[in-house]
Chains A and B, each alone.
Chain A
Amino acid sequence: MSSTPPVLEVRGISKHYGATVALRDVSFVLNAGEVCGLLGENGAGKSTLVKTLSGVEVPDSGALFLAGSEYRPRDRNDARRQGVATAFQELSLVSTLSVAVNLFLPDPAVNRAGLVAMRRLEQQAARILAAHGVSEIDSAALVGELTLGQRQRLEIVRAMFRRPRLLLLDEPTAALSDRDWLFDLVGNRLAEGAAILYISHKLDEIRRLCRRSVILRNGQKVLDRPVAEMSDDEIFRSMAGRSVVERFVAAPSAVRTDAQPALSASRLSGDGVEDISFTLMAGEILGVAGLEGQGQARLFRSLVGLYPLRSGRIEVAGCGRMVRSPRAARAAGVVLVPEERKTEGIFKDLTTIANVSLPAIDHASKLHFLNRRRERALVGEVIGDVDLPEHFLPLSIAALSGGNQQKAVLGRALMARARCLLLFDPTRGVDVGAKQSIYRMMRAFVGGGGAILFYSTELDELVHLCDRCLVLYGNRIVGELQGPALSQEQVLSLAAGHGLERAAVSGR
């Protein structure tokens, strides 16, 4: 028995991109029936490692072994044929094709005429989805019509349903609010003897699922130990190479009750937004919690005029008119930091400095002619507030890690002289260091009299950062928590719809 080779052995692999080293002499093993965590900040080499294992990239040196024999995937399909499946963080789905076709890509079953039998494919897909506990996704729907969370579920099911020997999950909960669903599936695969490499920023998930964890920093393995032996602080220190003393800085509330509300919404209704009213005070961080798809995305978009409402009023301090477009919202000082950073947050072909300066570009020019020195000075005023290092400014923003991209997007919101920020899950896919910077920036922003409406999929963020927290369920506000009542348990219970049942029972 002891001679059974491990499912995966990684032996001294290195990978360079030009002059930069993405992986340096990384080795570890993964056994059957084991989940191993893979931790590291953005840019530490996690994604490169995943790409190497899933056949997207070929390592420069070193070797991979799958159940004892050498494993050299030519491409993703070859890797999958050999029993290695991956749920990518960047979701590798084709948005113009249906759920069913995506599920079976790249080789959907064909009939004798060589055509894809769509009806049968959809029935098969529906069966597979149901077997994985996904009932709310229609197998005939186009992937482009799904929410980000649904797409992530689909990506995960696609990786799992072929029963791979080795399963790679890259940030599988980044857009997922129902994590237990995933944890159950992971448990099932383990019971069947699969080996799983679980990549996440979220320490609580690693602690819950993994006995062992590998930590990468700067392309090198710095640690490979049982998770239980390490304290949170020790893990963060290994990832960041420094001590993160406390994750949340306790700060006194900055709410200014004497001023007029920064933003007030009354009886907003539309498709997917039901009768929502709230007031956001100056100096306040107002949280919004909810499981995925409870109307939060539409609520945020409707507040800047990106999503049409049927009725209701939105009043912004110092602005008499109703905000009907992002342009009008920006003029009134309301800026949305959207969910999809890649397509709606950053301007991918522009340099970082051009990304940040864009809202103030007219101030940085005279008679429309750009004054680059003035642009630089204006940007210099805000990058300190978001901890964006100066030497990133001339780089293309696409070359930056997710965390630094998000800092640039937040810097741009400051550049636009926002008085009211609508942050939609700003720390998603962001490393620990950048999260701290974002928290600090939020504190400083409300400390200066700004107001923040803050949606997050991470409950601990809501609990620690917010003055109050609204909980959404079924497109409505089902509760408002503050003070000692604002706890993860309370938020979860309301978000799962339990508050509603109780209210219904007591009302009877």
Chain B
Amino acid sequence: MAPRDTSTLAEPMARGRAPRVNPELLPAAVVLACAVLLIVASTLLNAGSSFVPQLDAVLVTSIFLVVASFGQGLTILLGGIDLSIGVVVGLAAIMVSTLTNGSNAAILWVVPATLGFAAFIGLVNGLGVALARVPPFIMTLASGISFYGVGLAFTTGLAQRPVAPGLVALMNARVAGVPIPVVILLGFVIVATIFQNGTSDGRKLYALGSSPGAARVLGLPIAALTILVYTLSGLCAGISGILLAGYSSAATIDIGDPLLLPTIAAVVIGGARVVGGRGIYLGTFAGALFLSALETIITVLNLSQGVRNIIEGAIIVFALLLQSERWRVARG
């Protein structure tokens, strides 16, 4: 018998399976295509509009979700969740409007202070999850409620104050015909993708999310990585809140609440595994865009809020079903 390489012989399962592209790009691409189709459909339904302005409009309104769901995606990658995102978005928005109070000069210190506060809430979440071992959904829910209380105490009785006109202008300005929020959005997506898939920290996050037990035996800095992720999630929610304040030119404390569940939905629709270890930000981005496009078309069709919720819920369930099917095949 001719000697052969037994290691290849012993592994019929593995042959011919070397993926040339990241297999997770597939769901992302499909969802992105669906989002584009929805935008095309809403253009056709809305007489007198054309594709590019419609696309711009969807991109601009999606930015809050796109930014906030990056943080959500990271916590889900670690098998956790961040339920404080809605509150942090609202607190950041009200902080920006209250502290700037219509003055552009104040932006310079208010924006960093707001981001710092948002990151601080995330840090508290991270410390609770990583060091006190509080389950993430309890920790983030509890801190969200508590900080909401703090925000309420500070703002009760205050008249609503206008957001600095500079921020409002930023959200409505264009460079070379492209809305500035779209530029910010694309920049954010690129930076976030590089962080998650192109750095050693991102690699460690995938490792930790995939096998916490192995991460412990190998001695990965589990606590530091967990704290980093929740802090980033708070920071993203803060950015989202500031942008939202600029966009709506006035803020209320619960302005971010409707954003919380869509951040989770965007991550799930984008193909990330709900219990951690898998998922790319491009998928989450596609999911967020899809949800925004869906919202646009629902508005165009004049459907009620109830119908909208039903459709969104059905899509999340559908995405989860697709997921379980795909993994059954992938695991053989």
Contacts and interface: CB of A to CB of B under 8 A. Distances in A.
* A and B together in one complex: yes
Contacts of A391: 8, 18
Interface string B176-216: 00000000000000000010001111011011011101111
A412 B332 CA distance: 26
Given A361-B200, A370-B200, A41 B12 contact: no
A41 B6 contact: yes
B214 A343 contact: yes
Contacts of B241: none
Contacts of B201: 368
B204 A344 contact: no
Interface stretch (B160-168, B217-225, B289-297): B217-225
A359 B218 contact: yes
Of the listed residues B9, B198, B221, the one surrounded by the most CB atoms of chain A closer than 10 A to its CB is B9
A358 B218 contact: yes
B321 interface: no
Given A370-B200, A394-B18, A395-B18, A41 B218 contact: no
Interface string A29-43: 000000000000111
Contacts of A431: 10
A399 B13 contact: yes
Contacts of A364: 200
A462 B274 CA distance: 43
A497 interface: no
Interface residues of B, number: 44
A400 B18 CA distance: 12
A348 B275 CA distance: 13
Nearest to A335: B218
A330 B219 CA distance: 7
Given A336-B217, A347-B214, A42 B206 contact: no
Contacts of B213: 340, 343-344
Given A42-B10, A242-B4, A398-B331, A349 B206 contact: yes
A340 B216 CA distance: 13
Contact of B10 (A346, A401, A416): A401
Contacts of A325: 219
A290 interface: no
A328 B200 CA distance: 20
A105 B16 CA distance: 38
A365 B199 contact: yes
B214 A346 contact: yes
Contact of A389 (B5, B200, B215, B278): B5
B332 A347 contact: no
A361 B204 contact: yes
A306 B216 contact: yes
A345 B209 CA distance: 14
Contacts of A416: 218
Most chain B C-beta atoms within 10 Å of own C-beta, residue among A329, A347, A349: A347
Contacts of A354: 203, 206-207
Interface stretch (A17-25, A121-129, A178-186, A190-198): A17-25
A161 interface: no
Nearest to B210: A349
Contacts of A203: none
Given A344-B214, A394-B19, A218 B203 contact: no
Contact of A346 (B12, B211, B278): B211
Which of B199, B214, B216 has the largest count of A CB atoms less than 10 A from its CB? B214
A365 B194 CA distance: 13
A366 to B, nearest CB: 10
A348 B331 CA distance: 11
A392 B14 contact: yes
Contacts of B218: 326, 330, 358-359, 412, 416
Contact of A362 (B10, B198, B200, B211): B200
Given A327-B221, A345-B214, A395-B18, A404 B198 contact: no
Contacts of B277: 348-349
Contacts of B13: 17, 20, 22, 43, 399, 401
Given A19-B16, A330-B219, A349-B278, A433 B331 contact: no
B163 to A, nearest CB: 35
A435 B15 CA distance: 22
A452 to B, nearest CB: 17
21 contacts: A20-B15, A22-B12, A42-B10, A42-B11, A240-B6, A241-B4, A326-B216, A327-B220, A330-B219, A344-B213, A349-B209, A349-B277, A350-B210, A354-B203, A354-B207, A364-B200, A365-B199, A389-B5, A399-B13, A401-B10, A403-B10
Interface of B: 1, 3-19, 194, 198-201, 203-204, 206-207, 209-211, 213-221, 273, 277-278, 331-332
Closest 5 CB pairs of A and B: A327-B219, A326-B219, A349-B210, A365-B200, A344-B213
Interface of A: 17-22, 41-45, 217-219, 237, 240-242, 304, 306, 325-330, 336, 338, 340, 343-350, 354, 358-359, 361-362, 364-365, 368-370, 387, 389, 391-392, 394-395, 398-401, 403-404, 412, 416, 431, 433
Given A350-B207, A365-B199, 6 more contacts: A17-B332, A217-B9, A242-B6, A327-B219, A330-B218, A349-B209
